[in-house]
Amino acid sequence: MLPSIPTRAFSSLLLLSSIAAAVNLDCENVQVDKKKFDLSKLGGPHSILVADTYSHPAKSNTTWTIDICQALKKPKGVPKGDTCPSYTRVCGITQTWNPIDDPDVEHPIISDVIGVAGEYTLGHGGALDPKITRLKTSGRDVEGIDIELHGGRYNDRKQKALVSFFCERDWTGNEGYEEEKKRLKREEEDDDDGDDEPGSGERFKQDSKNALQFVSYTEEGEGKDRMDVLRLNWRTKYACEQYDEGDDEPTKKEAGWGFFTWFILILFLGIAAYLIFGSWLNYNRYGARGWDLLPHGDTIRDVPYLFKDWSRKVVETVTGSSSRGGYSAV
């Protein structure tokens, strides 16, 4: 009986890994209603610092950070209790300070750490369990998708993040975060200590120029279904249904013909009309038959011979083997 214990344990691990893989979100291959979306270009941490709130005499703000493609990396130099646990996709960090004692916010206190969404099946929480809905099928006449992310718990209430990706053909989805991505890359290359938590500075303050927008964080539902819901809007061309990855531009449903195509088509139709009308005229006026039906039939019959002579002259000119009729130059 003892040898069966490792086997059962191994089977349990395989089952857990398969479940985790099944509920994971593959941002490179988001499919819904036979439509495919690639959100991989939106990967990496994106943060929003929401407006300040007051609870006299304290003042506080909350930074929401999301990585749609993978779990958020723990910032270096930050105590374990001041950041969201592993496998978190959406995290909220609330900072509190007294503006009288600390007007420049140099020493804020981390008062709340909210793990909104992530894969917490092995810890205190639930599964990520992503749910994807096409905006057009949910009653909205716009292109895009809704992605629901679950798993988090805070104050004994379930948490949920609802991210609405709206099709904006002129937006990459990373507007407002280019400099931060460069900074994080430099820190990673330089192996910096990284004392600052990503997304905790004023540079992430909510702005209309940012592609990612905070909408609300409120309590919704009743009874057992009661939960806190974080709503975010994300404008990006990668949420467009007719987006072509190869051209990196949204494609149109109907492609127009170019000038050269129209020119060839008109030329062909013109020649065909000329031959048909000329043949009809020769038949009715002269009773012509065969080659005589065609206008300028003699010239058309001579075309192969004319082409042959022209080709021979071209070859003789190129090779320099033109004949002088048997006579030599004196």
Range of the domain at 227: 22-250
Does 232 share its domain with 268?
no
What tens digit of pLDDT does each residue of 163-173 get?
999 999 999 99
Final residue in a domain of this structure, among 250, 272, 307: 250
Question: Is residue 118 pLDDT above 80, yes or no?
Answer: yes
Asked if the structure places residue 16 within a domain, the reply is: no
What tens digit of pLDDT does each residue of 206-247 get?
566 789 999 999 999 888 889 999 999 999 999 998 776 655
User: Percent of the chain, pLDDT > 90?
Assistant: 33
Asked if the structure places residue 195 within a domain, the reply is: yes
Does 168 share its domain with 36?
yes
Does 119 share its domain with 76?
yes
Query: Helix %, strand %, coil % for the chain, to 5?
Result: 30, 25, 40
What tens digit of pLDDT does each residue of 77-114 get?
788 888 998 889 999 999 888 877 766 666 788 989 99
Final residue in a domain of this structure, among 250, 274, 292: 250
* Average pLDDT of the chain, as a whole number: 77
Instruction: Look up the CATH number of the domain holding residue 156.
Output: 2.70.130.10
Instruction: Please calculate the CA angle 105-72-168 and round it to the nearest 5 degrees.
Output: 90
Asked if the structure places residue 233 within a domain, the reply is: yes
Does 173 share its domain with 312?
no
pLDDT of the residue at 166: 96
pLDDT of the residue at 208: 67
Instruction: List CB contacts of 114: < 8 A, sequence separation 6 or more.
Output: 62, 84, 91, 92, 93, 94, 152, 154, 159, 228
| This prediction's pTM | 0.62
Instruction: List CB contacts of 247: < 8 A, sequence separation 6 or more.
Output: none
Final residue in a domain of this structure, among 250, 282, 302: 250
Asked if the structure places residue 305 within a domain, the reply is: yes
Asked if the structure places residue 77 within a domain, the reply is: yes
Asked if the structure places residue 163 within a domain, the reply is: yes
Does 67 share its domain with 178?
yes
Does 164 share its domain with 296?
no
Q: How confident is the model at residue 134 (pLDDT cuts 50, 70, 90)?
A: very high
Question: Is residue 132 pLDDT above 70, yes or no?
Answer: yes
Asked if the structure places residue 1 within a domain, the reply is: no
Does 225 share its domain with 269?
no
Q: Which of 73-87, 230-244, 254-268, 269-283 is least confident?
A: 254-268
Domain count, the chain: 2
DSSP one-letter string for 249-278: EEPPSSPPPPHHHHHHHHHHHHHHHHHHHH
Does 236 share its domain with 289?
no
Structure-model confidence comparison of residues 121 and 228, the more confident one: 228
Q: How far is it, in rounded angstroms, from Cα 211 to Cα 173?
A: 5
pLDDT of the residue at 100: 74
Does 142 share its domain with 285?
no
Does 75 share its domain with 221?
yes
Does 70 share its domain with 207?
yes
What tens digit of pLDDT does each residue of 178-206 get?
665 555 555 555 544 444 333 333 334 55
Asked if the structure places residue 218 within a domain, the reply is: yes
Does 27 share its domain with 150?
yes
Q: How confident is the model at residue 135 (pLDDT cuts 50, 70, 90)?
A: very high
Q: What is the mean pLDDT of residues 54-60?
A: 77
What tens digit of pLDDT does each residue of 9-56 get?
444 444 444 344 445 789 999 999 989 999 999 999 999 988 767 677
Q: What is the mean pLDDT of residues 131-153?
A: 92
